[in-house]
Structure formats: structure tokens, C-alpha cells
Structure 1
């Protein structure tokens, strides 16, 4: 019985992207859950985060790592870049979901990426808005406003950066307002 029954073309295609994944495949293999996002965020820089996420999606989709990670279709990289961009927009702003969807659509069209289905984009927008909101509430919950009558106050560095420095000198009394000279009764 022959052991080498695949053609050279079949061998070349094995473990590689033969075409761009469709919207269902993108959502099924390349959508990161909370644990995967945390692991991706643990990498050192944005480029590594996207690379890690792409490799995870690739192993889910193909069942193997690519020999050359640069062989990932542009649509896959655009998917992760769009998800990251949407999360940043949701974190720094309070834009309506419909506006975020319109902005995401424009971004994909500008980058010449085939649009996924509208429900895929809806899930991406709402998921990123939800993540940003959870992060906001977790950040606010971590801020200690006061710990009783004698305890120190602690605030996040961003809040501390905008507070005026506390002076150690005693405050001087306010100066009285200047007296207005009256010329109304003068001859």
C-alpha cells in the first residue's frame, strides 16, 4: 500500500490557508474569549499581541502553526486589527454602537478588506463595548476614595497627575479687594 498518496499540490496546501476564511470561520476560529485576550495582552507590544492572537486563531482554524506567520491572509490580520481598534475607541470614547459599526465598516472598506456579515460586525462592536465598560467599572472599583477618618487616600496615577500639588506651607489669608475711589460726589 502506498504511503505517499498526496500530490505535491496537496502537500503544499496542507496546513496553509488556501483561501480567506469567511465570516463564520473568522467568528468561530479567530474570536478571542476573555482568557485568550488576557494571554494576548500579556505580550510586550501591540504587534506581538496581534501576532499572538493570529497564531492562536491559525491553530484553531488550520490545526497547526504556519511555518511562515506572514502567510496569514490580510483579512485575518485586519480582523484582529479592527477588533483592537474598536476596543480602543470604546475605551476612550462613548460612541453609539451604530456609529462604531459605521466607522468599522469605513475602516475595512478603506483598507480594501471584504466586509464580513453585519451580525459579525454587530457582535464585534458590542463585545468590545462590553469589554471596555467592564474595564471601566473594574478600574473605578479599584480606586480607594478614603479608608475612614485617619486612613490615607489612594487614587490611580491618571487622577493623581491632574490633581494640584499639595503645599506644605500654611495658606496665607486672602488679600482684601482693592478700594474703589469714588468720584461721584466730588465738585
Structure 2
């Protein structure tokens, strides 16, 4: 899906494999440790064992579970995982998606086991928005750079990445908002009582970050 500030190539490359992982990447993200093997061992069929291994390592590598095509991964990664599991015929994984409910059930198990969070989680949503606000205020960078930092933050925090348009929209809004500092919005008639109570009026988040003034009826971005 095209996004305003991302090229078509950048949007299509989001949470997908643009090329096969390098050998160091395979060893880092596609090596099955004891926890991985304990969960995979609960499956009997080789197709299910290998398919779950693909899901575990894919979400670890790109930050999102399999989409419409559960086998949209480079074949080198499948063979690397099959070798670790002692599966001679890696092509058996093609049977993994025959029952779609199995794919989603495995994704739920992986998420619970390895504590991946949903992007819609309130707690992590607040922390993510705070990160975007802080990054936008303290760094003079465009939405593309902020988008990249957002992906990294979510990946490191084990928050499952949302759709590209959702994440891009959030980054675009955060970049635009700080560029227009808050302005005072006083009523035309300033009474003495209003002047005395001015110090009690709360300042908005943007004013506090910018060290600006309090406002009468909220803040307004400069046009």
C-alpha cells in the first residue's frame, strides 16, 4: 500500500524479506535455542515442527508474524531450520499452510511463550507514543527517519509491528505537530480575575516540552 512519505519499494519491503539473510543473521535470528526447541517438540508432524520454527524465527527477525503467505521467507532460512531439526526433506513445510487455523494457533502460542505484545496494548501504546513525541522533539529529522526508529523501538520492545499505513500515519503526525509550537489563546476580554488565575491554568504537553506559556483554552498549532 503506498504511503505518503515512503516510496512503493520502501512500503513493500516493510516486514518482508528483501533478500536472504546473511550467515551472521542466520546464526543470530534463526538459531533454535532450548526454549524454541521445547515449544517445537510439542508438534509431531515434521511440517508442523518446521512451520512453527519458521514462525518463531520470522517474528524474531522482522517483528511480525506470517501474513497471507505463511511461507514468504527465503528458502535458505527454511533449509537452515530443517537442518537443526533433523528434517531431511525441507519441502514438507509446504503442507504447513493447508490448515490455516493451525498457523494462527501456533502464532498465539509463540506470542504467549515469548511475551510478544500487541501494538494495540494500552501500556505499550502509551510508551510508544512517548517515544515518538520525544524523538520528534529532540531530533530534527523527517518522517522517513522517524519511521525507521519507530520500527527499531517496537522490534526491540517485542511489540508486534502494525500495518505500514498505521505506523506511517503515526510518524507523520508526530513530525508535523512539534513543528508548530503552541501559541497563547487568550479571550479578547482579559479580566483581572483571569489574570490572577493564569498561573493555575494547566499547560499542555507541547507547551511544557517547548518551555512555552500556558493557554486559555488549550493549545493551537501555528498555521
User: Under TM normalisation by the shorter chain, which class is it?
Assistant: 0.3 to 0.5
TM-score (norm 1): 0.43
